[in-house]
Amino acid sequence: MSGHVHRDDLGSRLGMWLFLVTEMVLFGGLFIGYSYMRHRYPAEFHHGGGELNATLGIINTIVLLTSSLTVVLAIVAVQRAEKKRAMAFLWTTLGLGCTFLVIKGFEWSAKFHHGLYPNAPHLATLPPGEQVFFGLYFTMTGLHGLHVIVGLSVLAVLLYWVATDRIRQDRYIHLENGGLYWHLVDVIWIFLLPLFYLAA
Amino acid sequence: MSTTHTTAAEPSYLVDTGVRKGVMAWLTTTDHKRIALMYLYAMVVFFFVGVAIGVIMRLVQLTTFQHIITAQTYNAMFTLHGVIMIFLFVIPGLPAVFGNFFLPILIGAKDVSFPRLNLASWYFFMAGAILAVLSLFTGGGAPDTGWTFYAPYSLRTGTNVSLAVFAAFVLGFSSMLTGINFITTIHRLRAPGMKWFRMPLMCWALYSTSWIQILATPIVAITLVLVILERFFGIGIFDPAKGGDPVLYQHLFWIYSHPAVYIMILPAMGVISEIIPTFTKRTIFGYKAIAFSSMSIAGVGSLVWAHHMFTSGMSGFALMLFSLLTMIVAVPSAIKVFNWVSTLYKGSIDFQPPLLFALTFIFLFCIGGLTGVMNGALALNVHIHDTYFIVGHFHYVMFGGTGMALFAALLYWFPKMFGKMYSKKAIYVSWFPMFVGFNMLYFGMLILGMMGMPRRYYVHLPQYHTLHVVATVGSWLLVLGLLIFFGALIVATFKGPKAEANPWGGVTLEWTVPSPPPLENFDVIPTITHDPYHFPQQEVES
pLDDT tens digits, one per residue of B46-103: 999 999 999 999 999 998 887 788 989 999 999 999 999 999 999 999 999 999 999 9
Q: Check: CB of residue B159 under 8 Å from CB of residue B136.
A: no
Contact B440, B474 (CB under 8 A): yes
If pLDDT is split at 50, 70 and 90, which confidence band does B6 have?
A: very low
Proportion of chain B above pLDDT 90, given as a percent: 85
What are the pLDDT digits (tens) for B430-455? 999 999 999 999 999 999 999 999 99
Model confidence over B345-374: pLDDT tens digits?
A: 989 999 999 999 999 999 999 999 999 999
pLDDT at B119 over 90: yes
Residue B277 has a pLDDT of 95
Range A115-129 average pLDDT: 89
Using one digit for the tens of pLDDT, what is the confidence trace for A137-189? 999 999 999 999 999 999 999 999 999 999 999 999 999 999 999 999 999 99
Whether the pTM exceeds 0.90: the reply is: yes
* Amino acid occupying residue B360: T
B188 CB neighbours in chain A (<8 A) are 8, 10-11, 14
Helix (H, G, I), strand (E, B) or coil at B7: coil
Whole-angstrom Cα distance, residue A158 to residue A155?
A: 5
Contact between chains at B237 and A37 (C-beta distance less than 8 A): yes
Q: How far is A92 from chain B (nearest CA, A)?
A: 30
Q: Which of residues 56-75 of B touch A (CB under 8 A)?
A: none
Q: Would the pLDDT of B5 be above 50?
A: no
Q: Tens digit of pLDDT for each residue in B297-315? A: 999 999 999 999 999 888 8
pLDDT at A119: 85
Q: Confidence class of residue B539 from pLDDT cuts 50, 70 and 90?
A: low
Gap from A106 CA to chain B (nearest CA, Å): 20
- Residues 207-266 on B with a CB inside 8 Å of A are 214-219, 221-223, 225-226, 229, 233-237, 241-245, 248, 251-252, 255
Tally the C-alpha atoms within 13 A of residue B254's C-alpha that lie toward its C-beta: 18
Q: Is the CB of B520 less than 8 angstroms away from the CB of A37?
A: no
Mean local confidence (pLDDT), B30-48: 95
ipTM surpassing 0.85: yes
B115 touches chain A (CB under 8 A): yes
Q: Is the pLDDT of residue B3 over 60?
A: no
C-beta neighbour count of B233 within 10 angstroms: 15
For the ranges A103-112, A118-127, B19-28, the one whose mean pLDDT is highest? A103-112
Strand partners, B420: B498
Q: What's the CA gap between B212 and B299, in Å, rounded?
A: 8
Q: Mean of the pLDDT values across residues B3-17? A: 69
A95 touches chain B (CB under 8 A): no
| Mean pLDDT value across chain B | 92
| Three-state SS letters, B394-443 | HHHHHHHHHHHHHHHHHHHHHHHHHCECCCHHHHHHHHHHHHHHHHHHHH
Q: What's the CA gap between A109 and B533, in Å, rounded?
A: 65
